[in-house]
Structure 1
Amino acid sequence: MNDHPIEAKEGMTDMRLPGLKGRKVVITAGAGGIGFAIARQLYAQGARVAICDVDADALKRASDALGGCIAEQADVSDDAAVEAFFDKVRAGLGGLDALVNNAGIAGPTGHLEDLTPDEWRRCVDICLTGQFLCARQAIPMIKASGGGALVNMGSAAAKHGYAYRTPYSAAKFGVIGLTQSLAKELGPDNIRVNAILPGIVEGPRMDGVIQARAEATGVSFEAMREEYLKNVSLRRMVSPDDVATTVAFLISDLGANLSGQSLAVDGNVETL
């Protein structure tokens, strides 16, 4: 689900945000890529973090970098694995203030009629159903803490139709519906729910997406990469740390009155 752990950009963890110290936060798929950047940012701010991932080796490296935090191997589409992970969180952290529903996969690339039902289900199960499974475990704990925050990872594909990536786009549109519905449902419990919509995030996973789309449309990797950047107003990719700082803001006290929002961190993707 993730790339290997990354280092945060210099200075990215120097900004102290009010309310994060001691806050108990779960980050799914937190051992690499965007998830690790989020976990690292929150840990540097003094939060107590717990992560899960499917990559056991990456989990060990990430936990070491995060002060030996709770780090469990779990597939978010597996009901039993999710429940077991949150049991560990409950025992280890003694409560929960925030959930970052970060886990996701790129899903298949190709014409819809060429995709298999198993490919469709796997993408939707991880990118959307996994958020439901984690939220249903986290919400009672956050309510018991007196309130807090959920941050659901969407995508620029939740704003635009995405040819040849239909399962992924459909799942991410679903994340917006989940976010807005839960914001209404949980607001009276002092729980804020927002979505982050990353754009073209630099790293191996994005390189794989570009390569797959290049192959599906019969052009070179370089030509497809250029095509992607032409559709971004700022003409550049975003970094995992760009996403991480936005998540930290939403969980902090500075985001106390933000809920039901879908915040694009994408350099203004105009189309996909």
Structure 2
Amino acid sequence: MNRRVLVTAGASGVGCAMAQAFDAAGYEVWVTDIDQAALSSVPGHWTTHSANASDEADMRGVFDAVSEAGGLDTLCANAGIAGPTDAIEDIDLTAWRACIAVNLDGAFLAAKYAAPLMKSARSGSIILTSSTAGQYGYPFRAPYASAKWAVIGLMKTLAMELGPHGIRANAICPGAVEGPRMEGVLAREAEAKGMSREAVYQGYASGTSMGRFVEAQDIANMAVFLASDAARLVSGQVIAVDGHTVNPDPKL
């Protein structure tokens, strides 16, 4: 029987790249997403659920279905939003809470409902999507950075708590990933810092030792590795896929 993976926010972007990579590796793929249009465009043999990753009733329903299907081998808790890009004094509390809800509550809820399924099987791999923003301070991105730091704390705790049950937990920290979401970040940061989009882009790229942005496939490849038997003793780890960030503040 094929192993089963669930990817939250799996209908587009990094999540979709993860789902495609697991599909190619022979997994039975389940994806959730809040974007119904994106869900309708994924391969027809994937199992899809329209769900808000930060809504407990939605996530409980998804995992009930996963349980009825026979359980879960790998969870990719990938849902996230960029949140506001502003000076700390200009960040609205509602916007702060919305960013924390998707990035942190979403990871918590996915892990909460995946854990019992994996405990019953005495095996499993939980992969949380953090960010290099979860490893460094990040000017003008306080909600996002705070949430992504917290995701790492959650992962470390999961690794310790669930390890005795044969369950591994790790966090991937993507750097700047080429794509529409990052373009929005670039535009907002350019406005907040009074810089051009091109200057901010080059700031991100030159802030890595490899001098380039990451592609979604790079993140997906790491997720498949972390779920595999080749990583059977890799747990509790924060793994950056970022071209080696040496300066997290993208300014020239």
TM-score interval for Structure 1 and Structure 2 normalised by the shorter chain? over 0.9
* Partner-residue secondary structure (3-state), 1:71: strand
- Identify which of 75, 83, 87 aligns with 1:111: 87
Runs (5+) with no aligned partner, structure 1: 1-20
User: 1:56: which partner in 2?
Assistant: 36
Q: What TM-score comes out, normalization by structure 1 length?
A: 0.89
* Partner-residue secondary structure (3-state), 2:83: coil
Contact 2:204 2:213 in 1 (8 A): no
C-alpha RMSD of the superposition: 1.0
User: 1:14: which partner in 2?
Assistant: none
Aligned residues: 248
Residues 34-93 of structure 1, C-alpha deviations (whole Å, 9 max, x = no match): 0000000001111011110011111111142xx2x21011111111111111122222x3
Matching of residues 1-272 of structure 1 within 5 Å:
22-64=2-44, 67=45, 69-91=46-68, 93-272=69-248
**Matches of 1:242 and 1:29 in 2, distance apart?**
17
* Partner-residue secondary structure (3-state), 1:62: coil
Contact 1:154 1:198 in 2 (8 A): yes
**Matches of 2:38 and 2:227 in 1, distance apart?**
25
Contact 1:102 1:152 in 2 (8 A): yes
Runs (5+) with no aligned partner, structure 2: none
* Partner-residue secondary structure (3-state), 1:61: coil
Shift of 1:132: 0.6
**Matches of 2:210 and 2:186 in 1, distance apart?**
18
* Partner-residue secondary structure (3-state), 1:270: coil
Shift of 1:146: 2.1
Residues 99-154 of structure 1, C-alpha deviations (whole Å, 9 max, x = no match): 11100000100011111111000000000111111111111011112211100001
- Name the aligned partner's letter for residue 207 of structure 1: E
**Matches of 1:70 and 1:227 in 2, distance apart?**
39
Contact 1:70 1:89 in 2 (8 A): no
Contact 1:105 1:123 in 2 (8 A): yes
**Matches of 1:185 and 1:145 in 2, distance apart?**
16
- Name the aligned partner's letter for residue 66 of structure 2: V
Contact 1:233 1:270 in 2 (8 A): yes
